[in-house]
Structure 1
């Protein structure tokens, strides 16, 4: 059939209209898809802003469950911690005791390198309360091949037992009791300074005074030898509870031996506690709260150091692997009376720059300071030849990856001393009266 021009002309508009409709529909479909995708991206952006994916991953990663990485790290920390220990050897004792020399001369020997092996036994997680309990165990392993000093090294050091017992009697007893103690000390043959080797200094030397005290007062002196490391690392059944449920306080200490504070430093209740003796909210150093607010001081508790010590944010740095870390430095006033973390003292107070930890060690007048009396009372420094405080070498710091709360490196330096207070009835320690005698200093490194 032949279609005429009129018929063709009549059909053209309908075809054009159909094409327009199809094009319009396709355009609308594309616009709709664009709107949908745009809306989804906006929603995704809002969700990402409201719910940080990195935060979700961090919370998943740091969640402690048996078998997970963080659980294993608490049970048996994967990193190694070493302790370099330096002994102060007294080199002019005869000259000093005779009065020829007015100052005691000390030489630093070492380091003696140890590995500190830390495990946490009997880990238990209470999901309902959001806490974890454990029994921490710390042991030292001597590394002779990596040490400059050896156990056989001969040294001369203060007789800790004689100084400690004499000072305790001077603090608590009258003239006649101290005079009786002096005659007993003389009869037993105990000397103010002793020749020994480094191994005996660390792990115990024999002294008749200790044997008598442990026999007469077994509830007080429960050891037969006196050794610095032997007493510092004596195994005790401690129980620690750590916070897990509160994300703002995760990994902080709740209680130590069921107490939120340190009774040895005067803790009674939380309401009456001070920064020195309040353990709740502090950290042992294995891990800290993820995304820790660096504007706050970082309170670190070390059982052997018998107190809470403040670290403050110093700077952001790059790690050796190229990611940012936060360095916290021990507060320069940490051992001073002006520190907010200073403990209360009303009697027999130590000079500035020293921390009394005797209540944690049988009442012995053990005092901690920074190495070589750094930032301590200058009068104490003047009593010795051989003390060389160095703010750079003797400072303490810890580097932390704050997003997950992992300490990546640390250097904690402390010195162990013994304070001397004498009574008129007991002249055995009179030559060193009112002195703080340095014994050793250690550098804990990770």
Structure 2
């Protein structure tokens, strides 16, 4: 008995160990499957968070990719007909004028107390003649942005100051349009008498702020770090989901150029985006040139260099002024117009500048119908970003914006009497970049690691579940098999049958006398074969009384 108990005890311990191991394996597989992506993100965050000696620091400071800036002009071919409201402006697109960009970040300061880093952006641009469709010497006719900016500024003044501006425009024979070289309109800039007057005339006081001595759409941008301001972004050390997100701009968390939440400094600075993106979400990009964030919404899932990415595009919501999306009304800036343009006048020193997508893509048709030569299409004019969803790394970016200026009649300004109210397209630019095949090969390991992790978690869970259920399942199967066996059995013939007594010789004679043969059917072999004869157990039958002597 003691040996039997010991053996039974060992079997129970063995079963308990297997069940316990199965439970632990199943639990580990389940938790690993549920939180593998989070564990991977946590480990990845330790590697890519911004630090002075982190793996991504150098590529963040000086991007290793080749960056190109393509610029297109709208050459105005009939400026003399502008005041004739029956004739639309005829625009001819010129370009691209391509510049290779070498960006860098300077004045970097780390702030470990709130996990942020401050810096300024500096870029050097080189003209790429081979990649351009035109020369920097090309003569281009474009709307006189200097005269228009001065007139728009005077719109808010009293009649006396407005008349002074109007007289200045006539005195210096300011035209409705100017013809300059592409180089002058871009980085070199050109001298204008109105700029000199505005900078020199003290009568306008602080109401006139002209920070430049020349005008050019990219004047002072080449090799300077002053134009785009000071960025302060999250490093992601405390939370990887905040890496690269704006904390403040020019030391403020509100731009002051838009009301309420529309003026909040938020979104990505352009280098990093949150990991673990979901289908159907949106991202945000902060633009210092527009002093605001631009929302981009998920549109589709695509494949770039063999890597699956989420495409986020600038749709109607990005350029709406409250017409389609009431929450965008605070972006109006005092000039609520039809959906399709963004009022950035306050950000551009009071000039009536309205940004849009090229050729008024995704805008109200009224903008396209204002001029001839505009042909919006998705392929050439869509603003989009394609991000790898697990890491937030950009696979492909096409940043495209167009600069427009509002031309309209201004009281007491004869220069703009009779002009049609027009959002006049001037210039648009595109910066497109795509991940290199070499970096794509490295990045492709990320989804593989996540897939392998989930497979291992699934196998571990299944194996643990098998061990956990092994003995209970065996017991149930054994019991089920036992229940299937028949419970009723054929009755066995009883061995206790009354013995047949031996017949006496006198009884046999009597039977013969009565005519009953000795081989009566009751005594035949078939009958007796089923009867067990037990001799000498019972007394012999006596003769019937009539046979007694």
TM-score bracket for the superposition, by shorter chain length: 0.7 to 0.9
Gaps of 5+ in 1: 1-17, 267-272
Q: 1:354 aligns with which of 307, 327, 341?
A: 341
Q: 2:73 aligns with which of 87, 93, 97?
A: 87
Gaps of 5+ in 2: 434-549
- Residue of structure 2 equivalent to 1:307: 292
- Residue of structure 1 equivalent to 2:429: 442
In 2, distance between residues paired with 1:222 and 1:123?
A: 25
The 3 A distance-change label for structure 1 pair 333 and 36 is closer
- What is the DSSP-based 3-state SS (H/G/I as helix, E as strand, rest coil) of the residue aligned with 1:228? coil
Q: CA deviation at 1:305?
A: 2.5
Matched, 1:226 2:230: no
User: Alpha-carbon deviations, 1:127-175, whole Å to 9, x = none?
Assistant: 4433233223344332222111221011111111101101221x21234
Asked which structure has the greater CA Rg, the reply is 2
The 3 A distance-change label for structure 1 pair 315 and 190 is same
Q: CA deviation at 1:65?
A: 2.8
Kindly report the root-mean-square deviation, in angstroms, between the aligned alpha carbons of the 2 structures.
Answer: 3.2
In 1, distance between residues paired with 2:396 and 2:319?
A: 22
Greater share of helix: 2
In 2, distance between residues paired with 1:352 and 1:33?
A: 69
User: Alpha-carbon deviations, 1:361-418, whole Å to 9, x = none?
Assistant: 2111111112112333433433311111223431111000121111111112211011
In 1, distance between residues paired with 2:11 and 2:21?
A: 15
- Residue of structure 2 equivalent to 1:182: 166
Matched, 1:111 2:96: yes
Aligned counterparts, 1:44-443, within 5 A:
44-45=28-29, 48-49=32-33, 52=36, 53-94=39-80, 96-97=81-82, 99=84, 102-169=87-154, 171-203=155-187, 204-216=189-201, 220-230=209-219, 235-236=225-226, 237-244=229-236, 245-266=238-259, 273-274=260-261, 276-280=262-266, 282-321=267-306, 323-337=307-321, 338=323, 339=325, 340-345=327-332, 347-443=334-430
The 3 A distance-change label for structure 1 pair 403 and 211 is same
Q: CA deviation at 1:198?
A: 0.8
In 2, distance between residues paired with 1:231 and 1:102?
A: 37
In 1, distance between residues paired with 2:10 and 2:53?
A: 55
4+ aligned runs moved over 6 Å, structure 1: 23-37, 231-234
Given that 2:143 and 2:177 are in contact with CA atoms closer than 8 Å, whether structure 1 keeps it comes out as yes
Comparing 348-357 with 68-77, greater Cα deviation is found at 348-357
In 2, distance between residues paired with 1:424 and 1:198?
A: 33
Q: CA deviation at 1:208?
A: 1.1
Comparing 244-253 with 354-363, greater Cα deviation is found at 244-253
The 3 A distance-change label for structure 1 pair 371 and 256 is same
How many residues in Structure 1 have an aligned counterpart in Structure 2? 418
- Residue of structure 2 equivalent to 1:9: none
Q: CA deviation at 1:292?
A: 3.0
Q: CA deviation at 1:46?
A: 5.0
In 2, distance between residues paired with 1:139 and 1:342?
A: 37
User: Alpha-carbon deviations, 1:239-294, whole Å to 9, x = none?
Assistant: 3232522344333211112212211224xxxxxx32x32223x1122111111344
User: Alpha-carbon deviations, 1:29-86, whole Å to 9, x = none?
Assistant: 9989967865664464256346525334322332333232222222112223322211
In 2, distance between residues paired with 1:348 and 1:128?
A: 41
User: Alpha-carbon deviations, 1:295-349, whole Å to 9, x = none?
Assistant: 432111111132211111112222213x321111112232122343453447444
- What is the DSSP-based 3-state SS (H/G/I as helix, E as strand, rest coil) of the residue aligned with 1:140? strand
The 3 A distance-change label for structure 1 pair 305 and 115 is farther
- Residue of structure 2 equivalent to 1:8: none
In 2, distance between residues paired with 1:97 and 1:410?
A: 37
In 1, distance between residues paired with 2:25 and 2:112?
A: 37
In 1, distance between residues paired with 2:335 and 2:309?
A: 42
Given that 1:130 and 1:246 are in contact with CA atoms closer than 8 Å, whether structure 2 keeps it comes out as no
User: Alpha-carbon deviations, 1:167-201, whole Å to 9, x = none?
Assistant: 221x2123443233222221122222111111111
User: Alpha-carbon deviations, 1:72-103, whole Å to 9, x = none?
Assistant: 22211222332221100011123x15749711
In 2, distance between residues paired with 1:195 and 1:121?
A: 36
In 2, distance between residues paired with 1:367 and 1:445?
A: 22
User: Alpha-carbon deviations, 1:349-369, whole Å to 9, x = none?
Assistant: 444322111211211111111
